[in-house]
Structure 1
Amino acid sequence: MSTARERHPELDRTRNDDPRQRTRTVPMEVLSLGYSRTGTMSMAAAFETLGIPSYHWVKMVENPPDTVLWAEALESKFDPTKQNRMALDRGDFDHLMGHVGACTDQPAAVMAEELVAAYPEAKVILVERDVDKWYESFSSTVIAGFENPVIPFVTKIDRTFLGPMFRLFDLASKHYFHVQEKRESWCMNNPAHFEQLRRNAKAAYRAHNELVKRVTPPERLLLFKLEQEWNPLCKFLGKPVPNCPFPRINDAESVTEKISLYIAEGIRRGLVDIAKKAVPIVMLALSVVLWQWRK
């Protein structure tokens, strides 16, 4: 039986590449712009099966510096007063996703309008779910996972992994779900934030889907449901139908496990960072003690 770490191998592929050094190395073929919990991991796996390297939010876990640049992109989108705003054009997105030919899930989905404009040659897919089923999944996995009471503490001690990731979450909550309540107060979750997030979720989901349909030329857009599987997807993308089942992964249990594992990893990284900073202080203190003792 595999361990949780083995089931989520992205944590063991962590690197720290500067995304600003990336350029486009493969063509951007498809933008899958359905919001989280619309089969985004299954779509990423489907694209990989079709030979299209894909970007899903777990790629930020593999390379945490991506998260910082994505946060800058969201701030540039939502805050017109921000100094040194990103242009949110092809060049900026090539830094983030120049090594892939497809994208799914957040934070790319939040940049739907900008991505459709930046890559006019790319085809666009919108995976739609019944809004009530989507809400049940989103609320019980993503929102419930982020309500974990240790998260405010972990984000304070882990400035390179969970800290930037929750900066993204806060930006999406405030500007995409229109949540005015802050997520945390010092080192405690704010229940009012999550209550408002749940109240606004369905309206935000409907608005997202309508936005994708509005900004995408009809000839570039495929409205897709996972149960349709390979045939309409491959026809739309001009790819041969694979001789294998359509991927169905990242169920609710897997998402919950993934978030718990990320929190544990954030605690580990934070404690390691504290230990590294503490060692010089301890050594200095010992040196002072020894110097005083020898006098």
Structure 2
Amino acid sequence: MSRLIDNEPNTQVKPMRVLCMGMARTGTNSITIALRKLGLNPYHGSECFKNPPRDFNLWIEALQCNFFNPGDKKPYAREEFDRLLGPYDACLDIPACMFWADLHRAYPDAKIILTKRDVDSWVKSANKTVFNFVQMPFFRFWQYVDSTCIGPLYQMSDLVWRIFCNGDFREEVTKQKYLEHYEKIRAAIPKEQLLEFEIGKDGWEELCGFLGEEVPDEPWPKAYPTAEFQEHIDIARREAWWTIARWLGMGVVGAVGTLGWLYYQG
């Protein structure tokens, strides 16, 4: 059976240099900015919003093919990731970090960065943002209405967290799964190919030393991912309510028109 990815051209023009496989909410936004300043072209999860129907649906397909074994569709490997990631030479955040083993097999020479933070701090941040979003009844319903952005975003997020914690958002579960994610990567990746990076503690020296780049003469970049994530959600919610308002408006107009027609017919 054909897949969406089979219709995508292979636009990979340079080798994949960096796989940042730390979980979301561990400083991936700051690392993205830093990698760009070093001349790389990183694919952060937020890149999906530049072309939502294309990117979200391809990641949904990848998650289904690689983790849910549909049987009639082969998993994503080097060729598929080349098509999906195109001209990017680094990738990070969700959903890419779910594919850490597949991406490592596809790009064995790429260096691995593990962004990390204290597990209690991480789960607090996740509960306010990514976990909160996928548990909102409104968006659980709205996924069936919006097929262009929020619907695919929700479906992709649902798959990610089903893989990560089976959709169980109790703190004791998500904390344990977070720790397991890091331990699996540490056990699988050669130490010389792996950098563990803690935002707020590590900076340019550690990153540039690992990548063989010169240290920029500027402060480590700051990012505000919680505010940015919330802005995306607020925009989506406003657009949804405007859509509902338009439907209600059209319903009122239609009802008035029908009553008028009935009146004159009588």
TM-based fold match above 0.5: yes
Q: For 1:238-277, what aligned pairs fall within 5 Å after superposition? A: 238-265=212-239
1:266 CA drift (Å)? 5.4
* Distance change in 2, residues 1:27/1:198 (3 Å): same
Output the CA distance in 1 between the equivalents of 2:68 and 2:140: 24
Q: 1:178 touches 1:200 (CA, 8 Å); kept in 2? A: no
* Distance change in 2, residues 1:217/1:262 (3 Å): farther
Q: 2:41 touches 2:90 (CA, 8 Å); kept in 1? A: yes
Output the CA distance in 2 between the equivalents of 1:265 and 1:103: 29
Higher alpha-carbon deviation: 61-70 or 153-162 = 153-162
* Distance change in 2, residues 1:252/1:19 (3 Å): farther
Q: For 1:1-295, what aligned pairs fall within 5 Å after superposition? A: 20-64=8-52, 65-86=54-75, 88-179=76-167, 196-226=169-199, 227-265=201-239
Q: Which amino acid aligns with 1:215?
A: A
Q: Which amino acid aligns with 1:144?
A: N
* Distance change in 2, residues 1:136/1:60 (3 Å): same
Match of 1:188 in 2: none
* Distance change in 2, residues 1:97/1:140 (3 Å): same
1:224 CA drift (Å)? 1.1
Output the CA distance in 2 between the equivalents of 1:216 and 1:241: 25
Output the CA distance in 1 between the equivalents of 2:228 and 2:55: 23
Q: 2:28 touches 2:93 (CA, 8 Å); kept in 1? A: yes
Q: Which amino acid aligns with 2:104?
A: V
Give the secondary structure class of the aligned counterpart of 2:124: helix
1:147 CA drift (Å)? 3.5
1:265 CA drift (Å)? 4.1
Task: Provide structure 2 residue ranges, at least 5 long, that are not aligned to the other structure.
Answer: 1-5, 255-260
Output the CA distance in 2 between the equivalents of 1:272 and 1:94: 42
1:198 CA drift (Å)? 4.1
Q: 2:27 touches 2:116 (CA, 8 Å); kept in 1? A: no
Output the CA distance in 1 between the equivalents of 2:203 and 2:22: 16
Q: Which amino acid aligns with 1:246?
A: W
Q: 1:177 touches 1:197 (CA, 8 Å); kept in 2? A: no
Give the secondary structure class of the aligned counterpart of 2:71: coil
Q: Which amino acid aligns with 1:160?
A: T
* Distance change in 2, residues 1:162/1:273 (3 Å): farther
1:208-234, Cα deviation, whole Å (9 max, x unpaired): 111221221211101111221100100
Q: Which amino acid aligns with 1:142?
A: V
1:252 CA drift (Å)? 2.8
Q: What is the number of equivalent residue pairs in this alignment?
A: 247
Higher alpha-carbon deviation: 117-126 or 146-155 = 146-155
Q: Which amino acid aligns with 2:208?
A: C
CA RMSD of aligned residues (A): 2.7
Identity within the alignment, %: 34
Output the CA distance in 1 between the equivalents of 2:171 and 2:238: 25
Q: 2:208 touches 2:214 (CA, 8 Å); kept in 1? A: yes
Output the CA distance in 2 between the equivalents of 1:55 and 1:83: 29
User: TM-score, length-normalised on structure 2?
Assistant: 0.83
Output the CA distance in 2 between the equivalents of 1:52 and 1:247: 15
Q: Which amino acid aligns with 1:257?
A: E
Give the secondary structure class of the aligned counterpart of 1:125: strand
Q: Which amino acid aligns with 1:34?
A: G
